Structures are given as structure tokens and as C-alpha cells.
Amino acid sequence: RLATSPARSFLNSSFNETPSSRAKEGGRPEVMIHPEDAAELGIADGAEVKLGNRRGTVTLHARYFEGVRRGVLISEGLWANAAFADGRGINTLTGADPVAPFGGAAFHDNRVWIAAVGAAL
């Protein structure tokens, strides 16, 4: 399961364009993964990984974080698509399917898979 949230240094898309804000967020899009989940999947801390689902894939870097629940991935930030290695941002994985009762989009979380770049899927 993937959860996304704004990073502390990005108030909105205006601030994700400043070098200082990007530097405070590590300089690149990352996904937090529990170290035990990463070990089971052969993913090293800092490794380039792909996240995907039926909507598409994105490439970013893994960051170990024991504070995330096992089975959950967290990608913080409002990174522009160009910041991702393949030019596709995290919203590639979200749908625009309307939800009841009045429509709108459901952005609670998304089911995704994760694999180290180059790993057999």
C-alpha cells in the first residue's frame, strides 16, 4: 500500500522548484520502506526502485525508515514529474475514478508493488 503526503519543505508546487527546498528533501524523490520489508525484497537503502500498479510505473529511490508500518510505503513531496528518473511522477499511480456519493477522486492510498530496478518482476 502506498501513501503520499506533502513533504515538510514543500508548501505547494511553487516551493518544490527552489534549490533549497529540494535539498532539504534529499534532492530526489524517495519512497520510505520498512527495513525488514526491503530485506525480504532485496532492496538496499538508497537503491533505485520501481513502484507500479495497473496504471503505470514510477522510478525513485528507497529510504529505510523503521517508523513506517510493514507492508506500507510512503512517498513524501510534491515533486515535479521531471524530478523522477523516468519523467513520470507519483500521480501516475493514482486514478481519477469518481467515488460515491458525489464524485471526486479517492486519494486515500493505492495498492502498488515495489522492486529494485533490474529485478525480475
- Is residue 110 in a domain? yes
- Is residue 69 in a domain? yes
- Is residue 99 in a domain? yes
CATH number at residue 8: 2.40.40.20
In terms of Cα–Cα distance, which of 51, 38, 62, 46 is closest to 91? 51
Which residue range is the domain that position 112 belongs to? Answer: 2-116
Q: Once rounded to an integer, what is the mean pLDDT over residues 44-72?
A: 95
- Is residue 121 in a domain? no
Q: Once rounded to an integer, what is the mean pLDDT over residues 65-85?
A: 88
Give the pLDDT score at 74.
Answer: 92
3-state secondary structure 7-46: CCCCCCCCHHHCHHHHHHCCCCCEEEECHHHHHHHCCCCC
Among 35-39, 61-65, 68-72, 85-89, the range scoring the smallest mean pLDDT is 85-89
- Residue 106 pLDDT more than 80? no
Give the pLDDT score at 4.
Answer: 78
Per the structure, how many domains does the chain have? 1
Give the pLDDT score at 103.
Answer: 65
CA distance 52 to 58: 6
Q: Which residues of 87-99 are buried (b: 16+ CB within 10 A; e: fewer)?
A: eebbebbbeeeee
